[in-house]
Amino acid sequence: MTRTVLKQFPAQRDDIGDLITRRPLPGPGIEQLDPFLFLNHHGPQTYPRNNQGLPFGPHPHRGFETVTFILQGELSHLDSGGHESIIGAGGVQWMTAGSGLVHAELSPQSFKREGGPLEILQLWVNLPARLKMTKPAYVGLQGADIPTITEPLAEVRLISGDYVSSAQRSERGPIDSLTGLCLMTVHLQPGARLSLPAPVGHNVFLYVVDGQASIAGNALRCHHLVKLSDTHDSVTVKATGSATLLYGHGAPLGEPVASYGPFVMNTREEIQQAFADYQAGKFGHIQG
């Protein structure tokens, strides 16, 4: 048996300057999907030559992780921990803000000069109280670093966690998540039928990036976050057209969430302390 669709939540349009932005989480009727906190879907769009690029200059974070999927284009990362990279299409940036980082996510000079297509997904994942002040970390993966699992009429690009293919081959993503998260992108061709892991007790994160698919006879809506039942250990997705999904699962933390802007903690007092620490320079500074 497969999990079934309980409800679908539309992404709300919230453009940032000229950057097309849709946000399914949080949104009307859904504040979080523990441990998943936030998703921004930027693009798809095509930037002209001599553009200004992305607007995400230096800003702080504490208490959670950001996972950024570059579907099209390029993204530059620079942070106060000394990490620096430019990740191209098909790649992923995984940043553990932990006790506090300042980072910038901008377009490389080459992209601003030449322009081109851009589409990016950024997911925020909560950390439990015991890990909120963990040491910050960053991993940048190019597309070639991410294993592609070929299924009949489908491809799974596995970022973290475990996946058993239809040929019963076990795969593990290159990122070792602090909280045991499984994250992947799924690309379906028309007629594909794919069973995805959904351990009992875990919340599933499923966002329809584009295309047409269904679960247990329920059509999935493009640019919607799909909330599923939790009584079975798999999800069977059928594609009625080409489709791209952001898919994952994780154990709910079951802890209070206090958030304000770039900080996600457990109490209001911890949020106030995060502001104080940032203003005191304890998150460090981006060099260069």
Find residue 36's DSSP bridge partners. Answer: 33, 125
CA atoms of 53 and 47, how far apart (whole Å): 8
Binding residues for Fe cation: 59, 61, 103, 105
Binding residues: 59, 61, 103, 105
- How many residues can be counted in the chain? 288
The encoded tokens of residue 108 equal 């490389």
Strand-strand pairing, 182-188 and 154-160: antiparallel
**Residue 118: other Cβ atoms inside 10 A:** 25
CA atoms of 235 and 188, how far apart (whole Å): 14
Please report, for residues 3, 44, 52, 235, the alpha-carbon distance to residue 199 in angstroms, rounded to integers and kept in the order given. 10, 32, 43, 10
Angle at 70 between CA 249 and CA 259, to 5 degrees: 55
CA atoms of 253 and 57, how far apart (whole Å): 31
